[in-house]
Homo-oligomer: A and B are copies of this chain.
């Protein structure tokens, strides 16, 4: 592990250099990186071709996520430019006051330091995460999926080239040299060198990190999201939002898994909803009351806590808003929860009582996304209650410190 320690020491040293760069400099470097990605498109595509060739055994969905082409490389470069253009999150005065001893206290946003991000196969994530960390004046340790190893290495090499050309330590954007499971297990204990770990991925990875980490973790965990149709819901909105929240991208963590419907409207809504879901080839699994109204597979108890990541929807008829809230509190993963209603009191109760990162009135849960929130790209969607909740952009990659200005004060 001596080599790994030496690596972490270099990253930590690099983080101190990045922390002193002006915002203007960080933006200019990100724009240079975007240009370098475009200029080195051929090398990146060649590395990616090797990755995809070896990934022949993968599902077509996985292959699609892995594969780059000219257009996708240009999109990666565009993503870097967009991050470069974001307002600098560092140095923002979050709060400020004069304390009783006439000390002037300023609470100011500062970089976190060294951020480790563990993520899945998509090579564009490598560039996005590196850029978000650099924009927020942090050093990044990147650990992508092994399927995309060559693509990620090619991208990081281009980004590091820009750093080196400007006399900056290349370890400010670093790939983890050893990407084995054991290396990850070791990495998450290195609180002396790493300030934050963000794991994005399946339950096994999240659990490996959470159970072993002494470094603080902000996890991007599963989304068991619900759509609740209150008795005051308008049918057209309900159908449009239900279809969008389930069908548009079933593999997304902000897609819904369960539809809860008030029994007062179940008999009129469910047959029409079934027709709409049938047109979208959605598999429906229902509770007994649901199956008394429409044809559906029987939902088991496991269905209520399942994250399908597929075009499958569980449906439950509930007696009133209390039952809906209790169901969500019992089975939900505190990610994104939505109510469709016209009733003001029901909406305010739902938004108030549901404890989740994002609670929606009359909109699709699919909006839980850094881009849609206006954060630019996102490092992930936090299902932690700390330090960030929901979409995690550059602001969530900062912490703060107190700057205190005195003129000789001592404590009495």
- Which A residues form the contact surface with B (CB < 8 A)? 16, 19-20, 97, 99-101, 103, 105, 110, 112-113, 191, 195-196, 210-211, 214, 216-218, 236-237, 240-241, 243-245, 248, 329, 351-353, 355-364, 366-367, 372-374, 384-387, 389-390, 399-411
Contacts and interface: CB of A to CB of B under 8 A. Distances in A.
A interface, over-half SS: mixed
Given A360-B406, A372-B100, A411 B355 contact: no
A211 B191 CA distance: 10
Contacts of A372: 99-101, 103, 411
A375 to B, nearest CB: 10
Given A196-B385, A389-B400, 7 more contacts: A113-B385, A191-B210, A240-B410, A241-B409, A245-B410, A363-B409, A367-B411
A362 B404 CA distance: 9
Given A97-B374, A214-B210, A359 B409 contact: no
Contacts of A195: 385
6 contacts: A196-B385, A196-B386, A218-B386, A357-B401, A361-B405, A362-B408
Contact of A216 (B105, B351, B386, B400): B386
Nearest to A358: B402
Nearest to A369: B411
Contacts of A216: 216-217, 384-386
B211 A214 contact: yes
A352 to B, nearest CB: 8
B385 A112 contact: yes
A373 B105 contact: yes
Contacts of A218: 386
A373 B103 CA distance: 9
A99 B373 contact: yes
Contacts of A112: 385
Nearest to A100: B374
Contacts of A97: 374
- Give the 8 A-B CB pairs with smallest separation, nearest first: A363-B406, A244-B410, A386-B387, A366-B411, A387-B387, A363-B409, A385-B399, A237-B408
Contacts of A399: 385-386, 389
Given A355-B19, A372-B100, A390 B367 contact: no
Contacts of A401: 355-359, 389-390
